Amino acid sequence: MLKISKRFIRYTKIDTQSNEDSTTCPSTNKQFILAKVLKDELEEMGINKTELDENGYLYATIPSNIKNKVPTIGFIAHMDTSPEISGEDVKPRIIENYSGNDILLNKENNIILPVKEFPELSNYKGQDLIVTDGTTLLGADDKAGIAEIMQMAQFICDNPEYEHGTIKIAFTPDEEIGRGADLFDLEKFGADFAYTIDGGGVGELEYENFNAAHAKISVSGKSVHPGEATNKMVNATLILNRIIGALPIAETPRYTKNYEGFYHVLYVSGDVEMSKAELIIRDHDLEKFKEKKNRLVDLTNQLNKEYGKEYITIEIKDQYFNMRKMIEPHMHIVETAKKAMEILNIKPIIKPIRGGTDGARLSYMGLPTPNLFTGGHNFHSHYEFISIQSMEKATDTILKIIELYKNKKL
Protein backbone atom coordinates (compact mmCIF):
# COMPACT_ATOMS: atom_id res chain seq x y z
CA MET A 1 0.00 0.00 0.00
CA LEU A 2 1.26 3.48 -0.87
CA LYS A 3 2.72 5.25 2.15
CA ILE A 4 0.44 7.99 3.43
CA SER A 5 3.30 10.50 3.29
CA LYS A 6 3.78 9.92 -0.44
CA ARG A 7 0.06 10.16 -1.03
CA PHE A 8 -0.18 13.40 0.90
CA ILE A 9 2.84 14.99 -0.77
CA ARG A 10 1.41 14.11 -4.18
CA TYR A 11 -1.76 16.03 -3.33
CA THR A 12 0.05 19.07 -1.89
CA LYS A 13 1.81 19.63 -5.21
CA ILE A 14 -1.52 20.26 -6.95
CA ASP A 15 -2.52 23.90 -6.51
CA THR A 16 -6.18 24.03 -5.45
CA GLN A 17 -6.43 27.49 -3.92
CA SER A 18 -10.01 28.78 -3.96
CA ASN A 19 -11.04 32.31 -4.95
CA GLU A 20 -13.71 34.17 -3.00
CA ASP A 21 -14.18 36.70 -5.81
CA SER A 22 -15.23 34.00 -8.25
CA THR A 23 -18.92 33.30 -8.85
CA THR A 24 -18.42 29.79 -10.27
CA CYS A 25 -18.44 26.44 -8.49
CA PRO A 26 -15.79 25.38 -7.98
CA SER A 27 -14.38 28.87 -7.65
CA THR A 28 -11.20 27.75 -9.45
CA ASN A 29 -11.00 25.16 -12.22
CA LYS A 30 -7.73 23.82 -10.84
CA GLN A 31 -9.70 22.11 -8.07
CA PHE A 32 -10.97 19.76 -10.78
CA ILE A 33 -7.38 18.57 -11.33
CA LEU A 34 -7.16 17.12 -7.84
CA ALA A 35 -10.73 15.80 -8.04
CA LYS A 36 -9.90 13.86 -11.20
CA VAL A 37 -6.71 12.46 -9.64
CA LEU A 38 -8.72 11.25 -6.64
CA LYS A 39 -11.44 9.75 -8.82
CA ASP A 40 -8.84 7.80 -10.83
CA GLU A 41 -7.14 6.58 -7.65
CA LEU A 42 -10.44 5.40 -6.15
CA GLU A 43 -11.28 3.49 -9.31
CA GLU A 44 -7.80 1.96 -9.41
CA MET A 45 -8.46 0.65 -5.89
CA GLY A 46 -11.57 -1.09 -7.23
CA ILE A 47 -14.14 1.42 -6.02
CA ASN A 48 -16.34 1.63 -9.10
CA LYS A 49 -19.18 3.70 -7.72
CA THR A 50 -17.68 7.18 -8.06
CA GLU A 51 -19.10 10.39 -9.47
CA LEU A 52 -17.49 13.77 -10.11
CA ASP A 53 -20.22 16.28 -10.82
CA GLU A 54 -20.10 19.51 -12.80
CA ASN A 55 -19.65 21.55 -9.60
CA GLY A 56 -16.49 19.78 -8.51
CA TYR A 57 -17.99 17.49 -5.85
CA LEU A 58 -16.57 13.97 -5.87
CA TYR A 59 -18.70 11.19 -4.34
CA ALA A 60 -17.76 7.54 -3.84
CA THR A 61 -19.31 4.47 -2.20
CA ILE A 62 -17.67 1.42 -0.68
CA PRO A 63 -20.47 -1.18 -0.47
CA SER A 64 -21.12 -3.12 2.73
CA ASN A 65 -19.64 -6.60 2.97
CA ILE A 66 -21.76 -7.75 5.92
CA LYS A 67 -25.34 -9.06 6.04
CA ASN A 68 -26.76 -7.11 8.96
CA LYS A 69 -28.02 -3.59 8.43
CA VAL A 70 -25.79 -1.02 10.07
CA PRO A 71 -25.51 2.77 9.72
CA THR A 72 -24.07 4.19 6.53
CA ILE A 73 -21.13 6.38 7.56
CA GLY A 74 -19.73 9.26 5.54
CA PHE A 75 -16.23 10.74 5.57
CA ILE A 76 -15.66 14.18 4.06
CA ALA A 77 -12.67 16.40 3.30
CA HIS A 78 -12.24 19.52 1.20
CA MET A 79 -9.93 19.92 -1.77
CA ASP A 80 -9.31 23.66 -1.79
CA THR A 81 -6.66 25.52 0.15
CA SER A 82 -6.90 28.96 1.72
CA PRO A 83 -6.82 32.10 -0.45
CA GLU A 84 -4.79 33.80 2.30
CA ILE A 85 -1.45 32.15 1.47
CA SER A 86 -0.18 30.89 -1.88
CA GLY A 87 -0.70 27.21 -2.64
CA GLU A 88 1.27 27.33 -5.88
CA ASP A 89 4.54 25.42 -6.32
CA VAL A 90 4.42 23.87 -2.84
CA LYS A 91 7.74 22.24 -1.94
CA PRO A 92 7.07 19.81 0.92
CA ARG A 93 10.02 18.32 2.78
CA ILE A 94 10.19 15.42 5.24
CA ILE A 95 12.25 15.90 8.40
CA GLU A 96 12.93 12.40 9.70
CA ASN A 97 13.35 11.80 13.43
CA TYR A 98 12.75 15.45 14.30
CA SER A 99 15.28 16.67 16.89
CA GLY A 100 12.99 19.04 18.78
CA ASN A 101 14.92 22.16 17.73
CA ASP A 102 14.01 25.13 15.54
CA ILE A 103 13.51 24.15 11.89
CA LEU A 104 15.21 26.09 9.10
CA LEU A 105 12.57 26.15 6.40
CA ASN A 106 14.38 28.30 3.89
CA LYS A 107 18.09 29.08 4.14
CA GLU A 108 18.10 31.64 1.34
CA ASN A 109 15.34 33.73 2.93
CA ASN A 110 16.24 32.83 6.52
CA ILE A 111 12.73 31.54 7.27
CA ILE A 112 12.68 29.60 10.52
CA LEU A 113 9.97 27.59 12.29
CA PRO A 114 10.85 28.41 15.93
CA VAL A 115 9.91 26.20 18.87
CA LYS A 116 9.53 29.28 21.09
CA GLU A 117 6.69 30.64 18.95
CA PHE A 118 5.23 27.22 18.11
CA PRO A 119 5.71 25.18 21.32
CA GLU A 120 3.52 22.32 19.99
CA LEU A 121 6.60 21.29 18.00
CA SER A 122 8.10 19.88 21.19
CA ASN A 123 5.40 17.16 21.19
CA TYR A 124 6.83 15.71 17.98
CA LYS A 125 10.42 15.01 18.91
CA GLY A 126 11.46 11.73 17.30
CA GLN A 127 8.63 11.79 14.78
CA ASP A 128 8.77 12.50 11.04
CA LEU A 129 7.47 15.94 10.10
CA ILE A 130 6.41 17.34 6.74
CA VAL A 131 7.04 21.07 6.36
CA THR A 132 7.09 23.71 3.61
CA ASP A 133 10.02 25.73 2.27
CA GLY A 134 8.52 28.76 4.02
CA THR A 135 7.21 30.46 0.88
CA THR A 136 3.79 28.76 0.63
CA LEU A 137 1.34 26.96 2.84
CA LEU A 138 1.62 23.18 2.98
CA GLY A 139 -2.03 22.34 2.32
CA ALA A 140 -2.56 19.89 5.17
CA ASP A 141 -5.84 21.79 5.51
CA ASP A 142 -7.32 19.69 4.11
CA LYS A 143 -5.16 17.49 1.90
CA ALA A 144 -4.13 15.59 5.01
CA GLY A 145 -7.81 14.74 5.54
CA ILE A 146 -8.06 13.62 1.93
CA ALA A 147 -4.95 11.45 2.24
CA GLU A 148 -6.26 9.86 5.44
CA ILE A 149 -9.63 9.02 3.88
CA MET A 150 -7.92 7.66 0.76
CA GLN A 151 -5.61 5.54 2.93
CA MET A 152 -8.67 4.13 4.70
CA ALA A 153 -10.25 3.28 1.35
CA GLN A 154 -7.05 1.62 0.14
CA PHE A 155 -6.83 -0.49 3.31
CA ILE A 156 -10.41 -1.71 2.92
CA CYS A 157 -9.89 -2.57 -0.74
CA ASP A 158 -6.64 -4.41 0.04
CA ASN A 159 -8.16 -6.34 2.95
CA PRO A 160 -11.49 -7.90 1.89
CA GLU A 161 -11.70 -9.77 5.20
CA TYR A 162 -12.14 -6.44 7.02
CA GLU A 163 -15.87 -6.25 7.79
CA HIS A 164 -17.74 -3.00 7.38
CA GLY A 165 -21.07 -1.44 6.53
CA THR A 166 -21.63 0.93 3.61
CA ILE A 167 -19.10 3.75 3.56
CA LYS A 168 -19.60 7.03 1.76
CA ILE A 169 -16.78 9.36 0.73
CA ALA A 170 -17.05 12.97 -0.46
CA PHE A 171 -14.42 15.50 -1.43
CA THR A 172 -15.76 19.03 -1.69
CA PRO A 173 -14.60 22.32 -3.26
CA ASP A 174 -14.46 25.81 -1.78
CA GLU A 175 -14.71 25.08 1.93
CA GLU A 176 -12.14 27.77 2.67
CA ILE A 177 -14.40 30.46 1.23
CA GLY A 178 -17.49 29.18 3.05
CA ARG A 179 -19.18 27.50 0.08
CA GLY A 180 -18.21 23.87 0.57
CA ALA A 181 -21.73 22.72 1.36
CA ASP A 182 -23.57 25.02 -1.06
CA LEU A 183 -24.20 22.38 -3.72
CA PHE A 184 -23.56 19.24 -1.68
CA ASP A 185 -26.07 16.57 -2.74
CA LEU A 186 -27.25 14.91 0.48
CA GLU A 187 -29.50 12.46 -1.35
CA LYS A 188 -26.71 11.35 -3.65
CA PHE A 189 -24.30 11.04 -0.72
CA GLY A 190 -26.77 8.88 1.17
CA ALA A 191 -25.10 8.69 4.60
CA ASP A 192 -26.92 8.50 7.93
CA PHE A 193 -24.25 10.74 9.48
CA ALA A 194 -20.69 11.75 8.65
CA TYR A 195 -17.37 13.03 9.90
CA THR A 196 -15.31 15.79 8.36
CA ILE A 197 -11.60 14.96 8.61
CA ASP A 198 -10.49 18.57 8.91
CA GLY A 199 -9.21 19.15 12.44
CA GLY A 200 -5.82 19.88 13.95
CA GLY A 201 -3.65 17.99 16.43
CA VAL A 202 -3.98 14.32 17.31
CA GLY A 203 -7.09 13.55 19.35
CA GLU A 204 -9.10 16.61 18.42
CA LEU A 205 -12.82 15.85 18.25
CA GLU A 206 -15.12 18.75 17.68
CA TYR A 207 -18.87 19.20 17.52
CA GLU A 208 -19.06 22.91 18.32
CA ASN A 209 -17.98 25.72 16.04
CA PHE A 210 -18.32 29.46 15.63
CA ASN A 211 -21.40 31.21 14.43
CA ALA A 212 -19.97 33.10 11.48
CA ALA A 213 -20.71 36.18 9.39
CA HIS A 214 -18.90 38.21 6.74
CA ALA A 215 -19.13 42.00 6.63
CA LYS A 216 -18.40 44.42 3.78
CA ILE A 217 -18.11 48.10 4.60
CA SER A 218 -17.97 50.81 1.92
CA VAL A 219 -17.41 54.50 2.60
CA SER A 220 -18.03 57.13 -0.09
CA GLY A 221 -16.19 60.34 0.67
CA LYS A 222 -15.90 63.79 -0.86
CA SER A 223 -12.57 65.05 -2.14
CA VAL A 224 -11.81 68.75 -1.89
CA HIS A 225 -8.49 70.59 -2.05
CA PRO A 226 -7.16 70.26 1.51
CA GLY A 227 -6.46 74.00 1.64
CA GLU A 228 -10.13 74.74 1.07
CA ALA A 229 -11.66 71.69 2.78
CA THR A 230 -13.18 73.31 5.86
CA ASN A 231 -16.63 71.80 6.45
CA LYS A 232 -16.51 70.34 2.94
CA MET A 233 -14.12 67.39 2.75
CA VAL A 234 -15.35 63.97 3.77
CA ASN A 235 -12.34 61.67 4.04
CA ALA A 236 -13.54 58.10 3.46
CA THR A 237 -10.33 56.60 4.80
CA LEU A 238 -10.60 58.45 8.11
CA ILE A 239 -14.24 57.43 8.53
CA LEU A 240 -13.39 53.79 7.88
CA ASN A 241 -10.54 54.07 10.36
CA ARG A 242 -12.98 55.32 12.98
CA ILE A 243 -15.17 52.25 12.49
CA ILE A 244 -12.32 49.78 12.73
CA GLY A 245 -10.72 51.69 15.60
CA ALA A 246 -13.96 51.57 17.58
CA LEU A 247 -13.94 47.77 17.66
CA PRO A 248 -12.57 46.34 20.94
CA ILE A 249 -8.94 45.29 20.53
CA ALA A 250 -9.59 42.54 23.10
CA GLU A 251 -12.09 41.02 20.66
CA THR A 252 -9.58 40.29 17.90
CA PRO A 253 -7.96 36.93 17.11
CA ARG A 254 -4.65 37.76 18.81
CA TYR A 255 -6.31 38.23 22.19
CA THR A 256 -9.02 35.56 22.17
CA LYS A 257 -9.15 31.80 22.77
CA ASN A 258 -11.46 28.89 23.56
CA TYR A 259 -15.07 30.12 23.42
CA GLU A 260 -14.21 33.81 22.98
CA GLY A 261 -15.40 35.38 19.74
CA PHE A 262 -13.78 38.10 17.66
CA TYR A 263 -13.78 40.58 14.80
CA HIS A 264 -11.09 39.95 12.20
CA VAL A 265 -10.23 42.59 9.59
CA LEU A 266 -9.40 40.77 6.37
CA TYR A 267 -8.87 43.61 3.96
CA VAL A 268 -8.73 47.39 3.84
CA SER A 269 -8.24 49.69 0.84
CA GLY A 270 -9.09 53.20 -0.16
CA ASP A 271 -8.49 56.88 -0.54
CA VAL A 272 -10.36 60.07 0.23
CA GLU A 273 -13.28 59.37 -2.09
CA MET A 274 -13.78 55.63 -1.55
CA SER A 275 -12.60 53.22 1.12
CA LYS A 276 -13.58 49.61 1.71
CA ALA A 277 -13.04 46.92 4.31
CA GLU A 278 -14.01 43.30 4.76
CA LEU A 279 -14.29 41.63 8.15
CA ILE A 280 -15.38 38.33 9.58
CA ILE A 281 -17.38 38.08 12.79
CA ARG A 282 -17.19 34.98 14.98
CA ASP A 283 -18.70 33.78 18.26
CA HIS A 284 -19.80 30.43 19.67
CA ASP A 285 -22.60 32.05 21.65
CA LEU A 286 -25.50 33.03 19.39
CA GLU A 287 -26.53 36.07 21.46
CA LYS A 288 -22.98 37.43 21.59
CA PHE A 289 -22.73 36.80 17.86
CA LYS A 290 -25.82 38.93 17.29
CA GLU A 291 -24.41 41.65 19.55
CA LYS A 292 -21.20 41.79 17.52
CA LYS A 293 -23.11 42.21 14.28
CA ASN A 294 -25.35 44.86 15.81
CA ARG A 295 -22.32 46.79 17.09
CA LEU A 296 -21.03 47.22 13.55
CA VAL A 297 -24.42 48.31 12.28
CA ASP A 298 -24.80 50.79 15.17
CA LEU A 299 -21.36 52.28 14.47
CA THR A 300 -22.36 52.78 10.85
CA ASN A 301 -25.65 54.44 11.79
CA GLN A 302 -24.00 56.72 14.36
CA LEU A 303 -21.39 58.00 11.90
CA ASN A 304 -23.93 58.49 9.13
CA LYS A 305 -25.99 60.54 11.58
CA GLU A 306 -22.93 62.55 12.61
CA TYR A 307 -22.07 63.40 9.01
CA GLY A 308 -25.69 64.08 8.12
CA LYS A 309 -25.68 61.74 5.17
CA GLU A 310 -25.35 58.04 4.48
CA TYR A 311 -21.74 57.97 3.39
CA ILE A 312 -21.30 54.47 4.84
CA THR A 313 -22.98 51.28 3.72
CA ILE A 314 -22.58 47.92 5.39
CA GLU A 315 -23.55 44.44 4.23
CA ILE A 316 -23.43 41.53 6.70
CA LYS A 317 -24.09 37.98 5.56
CA ASP A 318 -24.34 34.98 7.86
CA GLN A 319 -22.06 32.14 6.75
CA TYR A 320 -22.78 29.26 9.11
CA PHE A 321 -23.96 28.51 12.65
CA ASN A 322 -22.79 26.49 15.64
CA MET A 323 -23.51 22.85 14.84
CA ARG A 324 -23.75 21.78 18.49
CA LYS A 325 -27.52 22.19 18.39
CA MET A 326 -27.75 19.70 15.51
CA ILE A 327 -25.21 17.19 16.85
CA GLU A 328 -26.50 16.84 20.43
CA PRO A 329 -29.55 14.72 19.44
CA HIS A 330 -27.08 12.26 17.85
CA MET A 331 -24.28 12.17 20.41
CA HIS A 332 -23.52 8.53 19.63
CA ILE A 333 -21.47 9.89 16.69
CA VAL A 334 -19.21 11.79 19.08
CA GLU A 335 -19.12 9.02 21.69
CA THR A 336 -18.17 6.38 19.11
CA ALA A 337 -15.29 8.52 17.82
CA LYS A 338 -14.16 9.09 21.39
CA LYS A 339 -14.25 5.35 22.11
CA ALA A 340 -12.31 4.61 18.91
CA MET A 341 -9.52 6.93 20.02
CA GLU A 342 -9.41 5.48 23.50
CA ILE A 343 -9.06 1.95 22.10
CA LEU A 344 -6.11 3.22 20.05
CA ASN A 345 -4.54 4.90 23.11
CA ILE A 346 -5.23 8.34 21.67
CA LYS A 347 -6.41 10.89 24.23
CA PRO A 348 -9.64 12.51 22.94
CA ILE A 349 -9.48 16.29 23.05
CA ILE A 350 -13.06 17.54 22.83
CA LYS A 351 -13.02 21.27 22.23
CA PRO A 352 -14.80 23.94 20.18
CA ILE A 353 -13.61 24.67 16.66
CA ARG A 354 -12.30 28.21 16.39
CA GLY A 355 -13.44 28.27 12.81
CA GLY A 356 -15.84 26.26 10.71
CA THR A 357 -16.04 23.17 8.57
CA ASP A 358 -18.36 21.84 5.91
CA GLY A 359 -19.80 19.83 8.79
CA ALA A 360 -21.42 22.89 10.35
CA ARG A 361 -23.47 23.61 7.25
CA LEU A 362 -24.15 19.93 6.56
CA SER A 363 -25.42 19.41 10.10
CA TYR A 364 -28.02 22.12 9.57
CA MET A 365 -28.92 20.54 6.24
CA GLY A 366 -29.80 17.29 8.05
CA LEU A 367 -26.50 15.37 8.03
CA PRO A 368 -24.98 15.40 11.55
CA THR A 369 -21.26 15.85 10.93
CA PRO A 370 -18.70 16.40 13.73
CA ASN A 371 -15.04 16.98 12.97
CA LEU A 372 -12.00 14.69 13.50
CA PHE A 373 -8.31 15.53 13.67
CA THR A 374 -5.91 15.35 10.73
CA GLY A 375 -2.76 15.91 12.79
CA GLY A 376 -1.82 19.21 11.16
CA HIS A 377 -0.75 22.48 12.77
CA ASN A 378 -0.49 26.17 11.80
CA PHE A 379 -3.03 25.99 8.96
CA HIS A 380 -3.22 28.96 6.53
CA SER A 381 0.40 29.73 7.25
CA HIS A 382 3.94 29.42 5.91
CA TYR A 383 4.69 27.57 9.15
CA GLU A 384 2.26 24.73 8.55
CA PHE A 385 3.50 21.25 9.46
CA ILE A 386 2.19 17.76 10.04
CA SER A 387 3.56 14.55 11.51
CA ILE A 388 3.43 11.42 9.38
CA GLN A 389 2.67 9.41 12.51
CA SER A 390 -0.29 11.71 13.22
CA MET A 391 -1.73 11.05 9.77
CA GLU A 392 -1.40 7.32 10.36
CA LYS A 393 -3.28 7.72 13.66
CA ALA A 394 -6.06 9.61 11.88
CA THR A 395 -6.48 6.76 9.39
CA ASP A 396 -6.47 4.23 12.24
CA THR A 397 -9.20 6.25 13.99
CA ILE A 398 -11.39 6.27 10.89
CA LEU A 399 -11.02 2.51 10.51
CA LYS A 400 -11.77 1.92 14.19
CA ILE A 401 -14.96 4.02 13.96
CA ILE A 402 -16.10 1.91 11.00
CA GLU A 403 -15.29 -1.23 12.96
CA LEU A 404 -17.28 -0.10 16.00
CA TYR A 405 -20.36 0.64 13.91
CA LYS A 406 -20.41 -2.74 12.16
CA ASN A 407 -22.28 -4.18 15.17
CA LYS A 408 -24.66 -1.28 15.69
CA LYS A 409 -28.18 -1.45 14.33
CA LEU A 410 -29.85 1.40 12.45
Q: Where are the domains of the chain?
A: 4-208+322-405, 211-320
The CATH H-level superfamily of 4-208+322-405 is Zn peptidases (3.40.630.10)
**Mean of all residue pLDDT scores within the chain:** 95
- Per the DSSP assignment, residues forming a β-bridge with 267 are 278
- What's the whole-number mean pLDDT along residues 189-209? 96
409 pLDDT band, cuts 50/70/90, is low
Q: What pLDDT was estimated at residue 2?
A: 85
Q: What pLDDT was estimated at residue 201?
A: 96
Q: What pLDDT was estimated at residue 137?
A: 96
Whether 4-208+322-405 and 211-320 share one fold: the answer is no
Active site residue 206: no
407 pLDDT band, cuts 50/70/90, is confident
410 pLDDT band, cuts 50/70/90, is low
Active site residue 283: no
- What's the whole-number mean pLDDT along residues 374-390? 97
- In tens, the pLDDT along 60-72 reads 999 999 998 999 9
Choosing from 15, 141, 142, 175, the catalytic residue is 175
Choosing from 15, 41, 80, 283, the catalytic residue is 80
- In tens, the pLDDT along 271-284 reads 999 999 999 999 99
> By mean pLDDT, which of 88-92, 154-158, 350-354 is the weakest?
350-354
- What's the whole-number mean pLDDT along residues 314-339? 95
- Could you please state the CATH topology (level 3) that the domain comprising 211-320 is classified under: Alpha-Beta Plaits (3.30.70)
Q: What pLDDT was estimated at residue 398?
A: 98
